[in-house]
């Protein structure tokens, strides 16, 4: 197996760090839930709206941000959005009431919207199709590790400096990444002066071939005429419904149900996220192994279907555990499975989107984050209505079953073409 050549290693390292930072900034609100609630007087339902405001802003701006990444290139888009989301991360510290916190978190989510579509567009131009699965898995593992580190680390930082100072520190880190990206990255290997001629020739020869008559820029209506697009959106909605629980309610849920201290709850809540990182690595490897055996369709379907089966087992199994260790073990299995679906999902979007992979992946991610939006609200409201967390977990398992059926009809060899 051919090793990655240095420029592509640097690129995936940069996008991995971006993914890491993306989820540290995103997950810190969960670790800060208790001090924010105490400081600003929020109840659980209000906090649910704060958590969901991010997901709504993130979802609504996915497709426009993806389209901009296709038109302007990931260099400008990623630089701009990281500066914006870092600013709103820092501004979270200035919130003084419920409405101001809702507004800042909505704008924070909207600013983050172009991150993964921008990365997806960079992957299309920079990586051969046979490396797409592993690279995507590495990138998304950064998001899970970022969230995993954020829960105990941010809990410690909040304890040491206060929740307001913590958000300012994280905002400064994001600005530093954006400076590196702007000066080092270029949209294509052909534009990058630091790449070797050997590597450039290898990428151009082995990446997905570009049809010169196909222009970047696709209409929303064109995407929505595609059955592939609708199936991708449906299954990603199911995946995010399960995963987003780990970024919103898992930490306070474990802390309350098992009477844990804040740092102790952070370590327990990080375990499923580490499981998610492992799921990304394993799935990325499996996607590429199956693809290299000559079965493009199964390289996307099999890892995703296995992943959703594990989601069902993990969610239902966690309900039968009385100890925090048992519950976290099964939830880790569920998130391992949910994250097994990411590499095939995003690889699939690049497959069918090609030059418009930013728009296609953004549209899929929009649907997924509508699932995230509902998760942040469904958990506290279902628990208030029924007096139990069980309906939430059964809903997640049912959605995973629908996703398995969706993957049975997905075709990566049928691209979405402009009208």
Name the DSSP letter for residue 217: -
Alpha-carbon distance of 35 to 388, in angstroms, equals: 25
Q: How confident is the model at residue 152 (pLDDT cuts 50, 70, 90)?
A: confident
What are the C-alpha distances in Å from 35 to residues 149, 247, 332? 19, 16, 26
Q: In a 10 Å sphere around its CB, with 0-12 CB exposed, 13-18 middle and 19+ buried, how is residue 384 labelled?
A: exposed
Q: What is the dihedral of CA 281, 282, 288, 291, to 10 degrees?
A: -150
Name the DSSP letter for residue 94: G
* 4 has pLDDT over 50: no
CB 78, CB 18: distance < 8 Å:
yes
* 144 has pLDDT over 90: no
Percent of the chain as helix, strand, coil, to the nearest 5: 85, 0, 15
In a 3-state reduction of DSSP, which class is residue 73?
coil
Residue range 170-202, pLDDT digits in tens: 899 999 999 999 998 888 888 888 888 888 888
Q: How confident is the model at residue 329 (pLDDT cuts 50, 70, 90)?
A: very high
* 98 has pLDDT over 60: yes
Stretch among 111-120, 209-218, 315-324, 365-374 having the lowest mean pLDDT:
209-218
The residue among 154, 32, 38, 35 whose CA lies nearest residue 105 is: 32
Sign of CA dihedral 140, 141, 142, 143: positive
Mean confidence (pLDDT) of the chain = 84
Stretch among 33-37, 106-110, 339-343 having the lowest mean pLDDT:
33-37
The residue among 308, 262, 69, 225 whose CA lies nearest residue 151 is: 262
**Average pLDDT of span 315-319:** 91
CB 150, CB 65: distance < 8 Å:
no
Helix (H) or strand (E) holding 399: helix 390-407
Q: Which domains does the chain have, with CATH numbers?
A: 6-407 (1.20.1250.20)
pLDDT at site 211: 59
pLDDT at site 107: 93
Is the model more confident about 175 or about 60? Answer: 175
Structural Rg of the chain based on CA atoms? 20
Alpha-carbon distance of 218 to 29, in angstroms, equals: 35
Read off the tokens for 162.
Answer: 């206060």
**Average pLDDT of span 20-39:** 80
Is the model more confident about 220 or about 237? Answer: 237
Residue range 262-300, pLDDT digits in tens: 778 878 888 898 898 899 889 989 998 998 888 888 999
């Amino acid at each position: 197996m051919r090793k990655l050549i240095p420029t592509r290693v640097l690129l995936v390292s940069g996008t991995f760090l971006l993914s890491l930072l993306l989820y540290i900034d995103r997950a810190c609100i969960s670790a800060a839930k208790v001090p924010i609630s105490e400081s600003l007087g929020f109840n659980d339902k209000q906090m649910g709206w704060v958590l969901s405001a991010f997901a709504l802003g993130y979802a609504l701006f996915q497709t426009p941000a993806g389209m901009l990444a296709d038109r302007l290139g990931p260099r400008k888009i990623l630089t701009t959005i990281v500066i914006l989301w870092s600013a709103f991360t820092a501004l979270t510290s200035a919130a003084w009431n419920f409405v101001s916190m809702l507004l800042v978190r909505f704008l924070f989510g909207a600013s983050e919207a172009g991150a993964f579509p921008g990365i997806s567009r960079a992957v299309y131009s920079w990586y051969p199709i046979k490396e797409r699965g592993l690279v995507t898995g590495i990138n998304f593992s950064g998001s899970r590790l970022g969230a995993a580190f954020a829960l105990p680390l941010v809990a410690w930082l909040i304890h040491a400096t206060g929740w307001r100072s913590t958000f300012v520190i994280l905002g400064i880190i994001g600005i530093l990444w954006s400076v590196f990206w702007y000066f080092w990255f270029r949209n294509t290997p052909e534009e990058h002066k630091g790449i070797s001629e050997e590597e450039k020739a290898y990428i151009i020869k082995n990446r997905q071939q570009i049809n010169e008559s196909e222009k970047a820029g696709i209409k929303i209506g064109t995407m929505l005429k595609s059955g592939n697009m609708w199936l991708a959106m449906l299954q990603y909605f199911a995946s995010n419904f399960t995963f987003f629980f780990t970024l919103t309610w898992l930490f306070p849920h474990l802390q309350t149900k098992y009477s844990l201290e804040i740092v102790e709850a952070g370590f327990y809540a990080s375990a499923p996220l580490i499981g998610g990182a492992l799921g990304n690595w394993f799935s990325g490897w499996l996607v590429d192994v199956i693809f290299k055996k000559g079965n493009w369709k199964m390289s996307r379907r099999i890892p995703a279907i296995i992943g959703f089966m594990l989601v069902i087992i993990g969610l239902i199994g966690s309900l039968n555990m009385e100890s925090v260790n048992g519950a976290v073990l099964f939830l880790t299995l569920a998130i391992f499975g949910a994250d097994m679906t990411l590499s095939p999902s995003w690889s699939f979007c690049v497959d069918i989107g090609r030059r418009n992979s930013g728009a296609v992946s953004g549209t899929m991610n929009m649907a997924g984050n509508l699932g995230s939006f509902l998760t942040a609200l469904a958990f506290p409201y279902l628990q208030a209505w029924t007096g139990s967390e069980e309906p939430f977990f059964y809903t997640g398992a049912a959605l995973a079953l629908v996703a398995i059926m969706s993957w049975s009809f997905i075709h990566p060899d049928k691209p979405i073409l402009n009208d």
